Structure 1
């Protein structure tokens, strides 16, 4: 009977998710996953020092005279992120800061000002620093070391909020990672109900900023994030960025696809390769994202890792819903035509389920 009830609840959540019906689900007592981040994706690093790298990749953050011209071209969605939550964090909120260890005094003042913090009042805040070696520790598995660079500049301020607040993020001088990329990874990391500002002293990719988020979050909550969760979330952030850069689809569609697939894995317990591949194909069709076989294989491996983690299904559903809402607001009619056909199939499945249950 518990199995039937769980299936009914899953169907109900799916209905509310796509219809946009507000709902309050009880939070499962489950350990979340965690992500770490670098400041560079696919050739864009936070603090790369190599001047030749800077010329080839203006988002690298290298110390050249004009390192930032055109940096946002790495991911146009990050340059004018419509998903930005316009977060404002006050000293009275008792936030935690994670500052890049290699910021000069002027750069630190720039970052603090972008976060709305008076540099003269920094002593009133709880502050940790993130070193370049920590960025390499978490990111070398997914990004070439030369792209991570030798400087740690990404900085974050985070404050824990009341239950139901969700994750709200604003970015300043982040030219590659989008708000949606951060949110998806943070949910995988098990972080809930927090307001966050990610900032750089100049245009940087922002991939490494997750290292700061997790370090500050652990200091703030006193809870250590499991290594496997950190690894999986970082894998997700990097792969999502690569898909946004290479598929030609808009950022919201790619982020919606990833959120949808995570939801399917968590709700339906998909574990075998065939069922996951089928879910990937269905999601690619629903969100109008054209994937190569190699990209599908990378998603398959990521989703298998996610399947091994205990994720809070409620958080996944709410995050997926927020992305769907943004896609709808941006006028992605084609996607929702296909989601409409999903509905007819869903209601048919529900009817068949109850017919078989009570017959």
Structure 2
């Protein structure tokens, strides 16, 4: 009995230390932004010509007083994205990151929206939260038409060059999230019942529910969270089953990660949701913004449990 208690106590201490380690690792990203980004940091795409660099820097608001410029090379991109280095890769998306005051929130400004063809500001914001950013102002620009997906790699590069230690799973999840959101939005842009902002807000709720449920969530639980949330936002009729599966897979990967242990993760998601809704005008007027996906799972489990108890009681009565 004594050894049993010792082992249990040791397990609790080990689990607590692991959780604390994850929280510190994730929160460290924001600490680096707050302490290191005294001046804005700029990361330029490798493929820009000298003329395009000048144009891009002007769009990003660069001046000679700011710190030294960085360039996202194909080798740096390959290392960050864990892919083979391809010298023919075209990298044009460029970013500026600057810190905000304590009352600031997470902002993304695409100054060349006509040239960022697949990724919206809110998609970048959602992915940045998954990456571990709580508050910062990110500006994205490209002198020619590009999808905009490589700009996220520029954000990673800037953070890591300034001392942030970003877990591989954070980077992989953020990239998976951005790619999933961008592809689904592109495939559904002409559908009447689809809206990219609704999908972004739905995803904040899904991520919130996954963080609340933790690693104990089953695949079935996550499927219910995703399906019920998409239905709440009226997206279930416009999205295909394969698109919904992509969201489920992302949420399942998220549930198994240390990202959800970040103490600020849920509060940052809540702020992002409120910001998107506030900027969207009347878009969410007919939507239940207080929808709780986890509550619907508990109701479903309780309903099934009640049925099971009724079945047991029925057969007990027959025996008696």
Same fold at TM > 0.5: yes
Matched, 1:102 2:47: yes
Per the TM alignment, residue 254 of structure 1 is displaced from its structure 2 partner at its CA by 0.8
1:318 to 268, 283, 296: 268
Distance 1:295 1:138, change over 3 A: farther
Matched, 1:210 2:170: no
Determine the C-alpha separation between the residues in 2 that align with 1:236 and 1:341.
22
Q: Is the 8 A contact 1:160 1:193 kept in 2?
A: yes
1:7 is aligned to: none
Determine the C-alpha separation between the residues in 1 that align with 2:221 and 2:52.
49
Matched, 1:201 2:143: yes
Per the TM alignment, residue 149 of structure 1 is displaced from its structure 2 partner at its CA by 6.4
Structure with the higher helix share, 1 or 2: 2
Per the TM alignment, residue 159 of structure 1 is displaced from its structure 2 partner at its CA by 1.5
Give TM-score, length-normalised by structure 1. Answer: 0.63
Distance 1:325 1:183, change over 3 A: closer
Q: Is the 8 A contact 2:25 2:166 kept in 1?
A: no
Q: Using CA pairs under 8 Å that are at least 6 residues apart, name the structure with larger relative contact order, 1 or 2.
A: 1
1:226 is aligned to: 167
Determine the C-alpha separation between the residues in 1 that align with 2:28 and 2:208.
16
Per the TM alignment, residue 136 of structure 1 is displaced from its structure 2 partner at its CA by 4.5
Greater C-alpha radius of gyration = 2
Matched, 1:293 2:241: yes
2:225 to 264, 279, 287: 279
Q: Deviations over 1:34-92 (max 9, x none)?
A: 99xxxxxxxxxxxxxxxxxxxxxxxxxxxxxxxxxxxxxxxxxxxxxxxxxxxxxxxx9
1:267 to 191, 197, 212: 212
Per the TM alignment, residue 293 of structure 1 is displaced from its structure 2 partner at its CA by 2.2
Unaligned runs of 5+ in 1: 1-27, 36-91, 350-359
Distance 1:151 1:128, change over 3 A: same
Give TM-score, length-normalised by structure 2. Answer: 0.70
Q: Is the 8 A contact 1:33 1:230 kept in 2?
A: no
Q: Is the 8 A contact 1:169 1:195 kept in 2?
A: yes
Q: How does 1:134-145 map to 2 (within 5 A)?
A: 134-137=76-79
Distance 1:225 1:333, change over 3 A: closer
1:256 to 175, 193, 201: 201
2:257 is aligned to: 309
Unaligned runs of 5+ in 2: 1-21, 30-36, 300-320
